[in-house]
Amino acid sequence: MVTTAIFPSRYVQGKGALTTHLPQELAALGHKALILQDPVVHNTYRDTVATALHGVIEFDIEVFSSECSDEEIARISARAQEIGADVIVGMGGGKTLDTAKATGASLRLPIAVVPTLASTDAPCSSLVVIYTPEGQFKRYLMIPRNPTLVLVDSSIIAAAPVRFLVSGIGDALATWFEAEDCRIKGAGNMTTRPGPMTAFELARFCYTTLMRYGRLAKLACEQHQVTPALEHVIEANTLLSGLGFESGGLAAAHAIHNGLTVLPATHKYWHGEKVAFGTLAMLMLTDRAPELIEEVYQFCEDIGLPTTLADIGLAGVSDDELLAVARASCQTGETMHNEPFTITPEAVQAALRAADAVGQARKKIDLAG
């Protein structure tokens, strides 16, 4: 059997890395950088970046238009060619980073990403999500190579609202369970080939890191302080989960997340929050040990991730609505089919109800106590 894993070329993380290490890292990649920043990052960090890079590498800063669309990718690509850029940098949230990744890939230039949030595991991956200019999902794009550089300044992550970190933990929480089921089945990862043992062990390490440091990291982030625990969880959310999902594989939790999006009431909740509840449903669906289920519920409660349908906007959801979610999660091409046994929409619907019932029962016990 041939296995395949894919990784970013370099991963740099630490407090102050934006000013202490980004200049030398970019200078090693090229002579002139086009830096794409989202509007919030532009207002907050434009001068910091300009001061750090001055005299080290030439650069031009562009402001992201708000959607990772074909039109925006074409605009940034044209600007990069106009100024003679030989390295593309994305700084901000997921759509900004995806636009930089797609631009760099289209021009065959080195790609550097500087995430300012630890809310998903996307920065290290070769996956790009393309939207219309109006914000509607259009297609997935797999670029030929992962980013050349991923640089995370932990002080920037700590300065953001804690909900971003917690959402990233919710996304990363699924990584080991999904990778493990892909391993058992021999299912393909994002390359379509099975992952190597390295990917599965990294996915497991992601889970144990979250269990060990997640609570401490949340408390530190609430105070906007960088601590070793926060550093560990930033790494788990960004690097370990990114490697684990891309080279290990996705399965039921993300398929359930995708199914949940058919109900408009869930749209105001973040990706990682819905993945977290999808993970709880996956544990029911795949008959995980009761002790493990208890551990995951307790962890979600401790850090504020959803444990009931009401927590993701679905209080009073009907059986027909949940069946629609289940059918969407089981449609052809979904990662639900990476599970090592056949899954039916009815089984997913039952798992969603069961996960909700456990969450509700635990909340009643807490209130009574």
- Is 198 one of the annotated binding-site residues? no
- Is 254 one of the annotated binding-site residues? yes
The H-assigned helical ranges of the chain are 17-20, 22-27, 39-53, 70-83, 94-107, 154-159, 162-173, 175-185, 197-222, 228-235, 241-248, 252-260, 271-285, 290-303, 319-329, 345-368
- Is 337 one of the annotated binding-site residues? no
- Is 95 one of the annotated binding-site residues? yes
- Is 216 one of the annotated binding-site residues? no
Instruction: Write out the DSSP string of 207-256.
Output: HHHHHHHHHHHHHHHHTT---HHHHHHHHIIIIIHHHHHHHH---HHHHH
Known catalytic residue: 47?
no
Count CB neighbours of 226 within 10 A.
20
Indicate which residue of 42, 153, 181, 271 is catalytic.
271
Known catalytic residue: 257?
yes
Indicate which residue of 153, 257, 311, 356 is catalytic.
257
Paired tokens of 304: 């504020």
- Is 120 one of the annotated binding-site residues? no
- Is 369 one of the annotated binding-site residues? no
25 backbone dihedrals φ, ψ, rounded to 5°: -65, -45
- Is 286 one of the annotated binding-site residues? no
- Is 90 one of the annotated binding-site residues? no
Of 256, 316, 305, nearest to 281 (Cα)? 256
- Is 218 one of the annotated binding-site residues? no
Of 283, 285, 306, nearest to 363 (Cα)? 306
- Is 47 one of the annotated binding-site residues? no
- Is 297 one of the annotated binding-site residues? no
End-to-end Cα separation, the chain, in angstroms: 53
Known catalytic residue: 171?
yes
Known catalytic residue: 254?
yes
Count CB neighbours of 164 within 10 A.
20
Q: 């989202």: which residue's tokens? A: 38
- Is 98 one of the annotated binding-site residues? yes
Indicate which residue of 42, 153, 171, 311 is catalytic.
171
Paired tokens of 196: 């190597």
**Alpha-carbon dihedral sign for residues 115, 120, 125, 128:** negative
- Is 274 one of the annotated binding-site residues? no
- Is 269 one of the annotated binding-site residues? no
Task: List active site positions.
Answer: 171, 254, 257, 271
| Binding annotation for NAD(+) | 38, 94-98, 116-119, 125, 127, 131
| Binding annotation for glycerol | 121, 171, 254, 271
| Binding annotation | 38, 94-98, 116-119, 121, 125, 127, 131, 171, 254, 271
